[in-house]
Homo-oligomer: A and B are copies of this chain.
Amino acid sequence: MGTTQLEPVPEPKYWHLRTVLSEALDSEFSVGEILPNERDLAARFGVARATLRQALEQLELEGRLQRRRGVGTTVAPPRVGVAVGTQRHTWPGTAGDAWQPVDCTLAAPPAPVAEALGTGRDEPVHTVRRSRVTHGQPVAAELLYIPQTSVPDLSAIDAPSGPARARAVLRELQRLELDHQDSAVELGSARADDARELDRLPGAPVLVVTTRYTAEGRTAALSTATYRADTCRLTFGDSGDVEIHHGPQTQAS
């Protein structure tokens, strides 16, 4: 492996290195391939290890690289598009929903959630935990908060807990007529419980999607879903995915 010295440029060195590395990934490496170790890479590009690490972190943010314990740094497969918003709004749990119910508890939610729901400070709400798996990989974890007033006819003799209870709560929720559905996406870090479910370390970057379901003029349910930012691209819209492919281009003749 030869030495590729970087020419001096006005942009930060790690950023220039990121661009050079990105081109090398396109032309020299294939998905899943393990990169040379940091010392060899730093030597090849004539940069300090700290600069190299900064550039690798950039490429990890962009989903081009994955760093895995005991394996090293590998070339990441393209991110998976997961549909978040569609034209047709539906309650969680209806047919075609990609989420699997995991558990359901009745407990007071965190104070900011209670405030958003308009429930009292220590008032218990149904808290449904769901998970989403795409191509066999866990991609998202959700907490769905449903005030008791949204499911007034829920029977206590339905399943008392677990996925069966979750399904019973979601079934009751669907009796309401859904007026609006609003979502917001922001950057966050994985909570310990979500991290475990997503096979990440606590604090890993995640995309947090908050969705408010409105029925009869009030918030009938509130969802906070945590998507792995390294492997997911969230899609919104009519007809599916929008992707700009990296990697070696097919020849346009």
CB distance from A27 to the nearest CB of B (A): 12
List, in ascending order, chain B residues with CB within 8 A of A120's CB. Answer: 252
CB distance from A184 to the nearest CB of B (A): 4
Q: How far is the CA of A250 from the CA of B118 in the complex (A)?
A: 12
- Contact status A242-B187, CB under 8 Å: no
Q: How far is the CA of A149 from the CA of B232 in the complex (A)?
A: 32
List, in ascending order, chain B residues with CB within 8 A of A224's CB. Answer: 244
- Contact status B244-A62, CB under 8 Å: no
- Contact status B186-A236, CB under 8 Å: no
- Contact status B187-A207, CB under 8 Å: yes
Chain B CB within 8 A of A130 CB = no
- Contact status A188-B115, CB under 8 Å: no
Q: How many copies does the complex hold?
A: 2
Chain B CB within 8 A of A135 CB = no
Q: How far is the CA of A188 from the CA of B62 in the complex (A)?
A: 4
Q: Could you list 28 examples of A-B contacts with CB < 8 Å?
A: A11-B192, A12-B203, A14-B203, A15-B203, A18-B189, A18-B203, A54-B203, A57-B203, A61-B203, A62-B189, A85-B237, A112-B244, A115-B249, A116-B244, A121-B252, A181-B237, A182-B236, A182-B238, A182-B239, A182-B240, A183-B237, A184-B242, A185-B185, A186-B234, A187-B229, A210-B243, A210-B244, A222-B244
Closest 8 pairs (CB-CB, A-B)? A182-B237, A15-B202, A121-B252, A187-B229, A186-B233, A184-B242, A180-B238, A111-B249
